[in-house]
């Protein structure tokens, strides 16, 4: 379905309107900064992030709310853009909010130039990574705790002579694998206890050849208590002349930690309300998608959602989002992906030909035409879908951006409709 003629053009007015819409509705912080580092314009997400009202934020130097320890690194890159060394930069840093709370962010900065190539503005996109950084710290702490508590953990040691290639486990590791009466294991028997899928990850060749002095491997071992995930720290010992002499390793059972990490990873990729993928989950799953018949990216926006929120409140709005997510999931196949990327904004990725993408878009619009029953009463929320279909996978952000543009055009035609175009 193609948009009607005349509704999309390349006029400056249309481009400005689209920029303004994307600017104000972006789920992450967006700011325009002048060459002196003052905020000229920010969106509500940025205002919320730094804890400063938009009217106060305008004209405020970003140095005022940047953590003192992070300011100089930011300014160095900022100045390099001004003098033409670079066109932009990405940096992680911290903001200090008026209430004293520290917010950790990653900032993508791009230079905006005039017709002569001079920098006149900076466009910054700011994402809150506080939770992510906290997860990193927690993982680092757990790794340190494992090392300090090594003697109290389940597992044991092994060693391998480089010259004779003789491998032997300790009594403790042998007992962990085969029980109290088990004999020590040589290399073949130890590998025989390893999950075949993990043998390549446990390769000792770089250590035996002296290419590296230490490494870590994670693999599954068949033990007397069942299959366990082992974290194995391996180190190379050299003789007086620096030649590889022996490799020693300690294998520690970290099954519980591995399971928690997997659960944390799954949770970090899911929207907490709807259970659909979030932006991170969508990006990760998209990388793993395999398709030989093309890829369709659909941007979905709910029509009338704001009215439900305004009339019945956020609990009712959440109920509508849950229902919409369920209907969205019912419209796709097992190989497709569905994500909530904003308040009432969704992205669907269809693995297949153009007809498959159009079929999903049509089903979504049709499904959302059904009345939604809430405890407050029945409500009507429709959907508009804009999509782009490509013959092969390419940059996801670019495809989503094109789908958004088609979505805006479809909404301008009256909403409650779909449009899927073919990528150039």
The residues assigned a catalytic role are 344
Are the CB atoms for 404 and 421 separated by under 8 Å?
no
**Buried/exposed 216-232: b ≥16 CB within 10 Å, e otherwise:** ebebbbebeeeebbbbb
CB neighbours (10 Å) of residue 395? 8
Q: Is 305 exposed, middle or buried, given 0-12, 13-18 or 19+ CB atoms closer than 10 A?
A: buried
Inter-CA distances, 13 with 9, 19, 31, Å: 9, 10, 20
Q: Is 392 exposed, middle or buried, given 0-12, 13-18 or 19+ CB atoms closer than 10 A?
A: exposed
* Strand pairing category for 372-374 and 226-238: unpaired
Contacts for 15 with CB less than 8 Å, ≥ 6 apart: none
Whose CA is closest to 77, among 49, 104, 103, 108?
A: 108
Q: What span, in angstroms and rounded, lies between the C-alpha atoms of 326 and 334?
A: 14
* Strand pairing category for 214-223 and 29-33: unpaired
* Strand pairing category for 418-422 and 382-390: parallel
Are the CB atoms for 300 and 312 separated by under 8 Å?
no
Are the CB atoms for 347 and 388 separated by under 8 Å?
no
């Amino acid at each position: 379905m193609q948009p009607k003629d005349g509704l999309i053009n390349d006029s400056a007015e249309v481009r400005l309107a689209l920029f303004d819409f994307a600017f104000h509705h972006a789920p992450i912080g967006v700011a325009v900064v002048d060459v002196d580092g003052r905020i000229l314009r920010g969106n509500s997400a940025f205002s919320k992030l730094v804890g400063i009202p938009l009217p106060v934020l305008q004209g405020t130097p970003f140095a005022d709310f940047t953590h003192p320890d992070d300011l100089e690194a930011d300014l160095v890159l900022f100045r390099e853009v001004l003098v033409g060394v670079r066109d932009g930069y990405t940096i992680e840093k911290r903001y200090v909010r008026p209430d004293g709370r520290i917010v950790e962010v990653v900032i993508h900065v791009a230079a905006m130039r005039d017709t002569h190539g001079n920098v006149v503005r900076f466009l910054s996109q700011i994402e809150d990574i506080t939770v992510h950084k906290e997860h990193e710290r927690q993982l680092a702490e757990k790794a340190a705790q494992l090392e300090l508590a090594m003697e109290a953990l389940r597992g044991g040691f092994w060693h391998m002579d480089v010259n004779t290639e003789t491998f032997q486990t300790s009594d403790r590791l042998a007992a962990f694998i085969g029980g109290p009466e088990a004999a020590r294991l040589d290399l073949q028997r130890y590998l025989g206890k390893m999950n075949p899928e993990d043998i390549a990850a446990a390769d000792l060749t770089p250590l035996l050849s002296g290419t590296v002095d230490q490494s870590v491997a994670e693999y599954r071992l068949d033990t007397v208590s069942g299959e366990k995930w082992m974290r194995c720290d391996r180190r190379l010992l050299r003789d007086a002349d620096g030649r590889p002499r022996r490799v020693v390793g300690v294998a520690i059972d970290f099954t519980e930690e591995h399971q928690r990490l997997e659960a944390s990873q799954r949770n970090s990729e899911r929207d907490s309300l709807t259970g659909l993928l979030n932006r991170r989950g969508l990006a990760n799953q998209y990388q793993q998608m395999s398709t030989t018949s093309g890829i369709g990216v659909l941007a979905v926006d709910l029509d009338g959602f704001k009215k439900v929120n305004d009339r019945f409140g956020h609990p009712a709005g959440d109920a509508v989002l849950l229902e919409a997510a369920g209907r969205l999931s019912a419209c796709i196949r097992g190989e497709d992906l569905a994500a909530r990327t904003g308040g009432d904004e969704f992205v669907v990725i269809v693995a297949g030909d153009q007809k498959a993408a159009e079929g999903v878009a049509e089903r979504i619009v049709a499904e959302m035409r059904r009345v939604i029953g809430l405890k407050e009463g029945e409500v009507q929320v429709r959907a508009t879908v804009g999509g782009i279909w490509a013959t092969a996978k390419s940059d996801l952000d670019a495809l989503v951006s094109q789908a958004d543009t088609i979505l805006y055009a479809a909404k301008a035609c009256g909403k409650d409709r779909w449009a899927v175009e073919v990528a150039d």
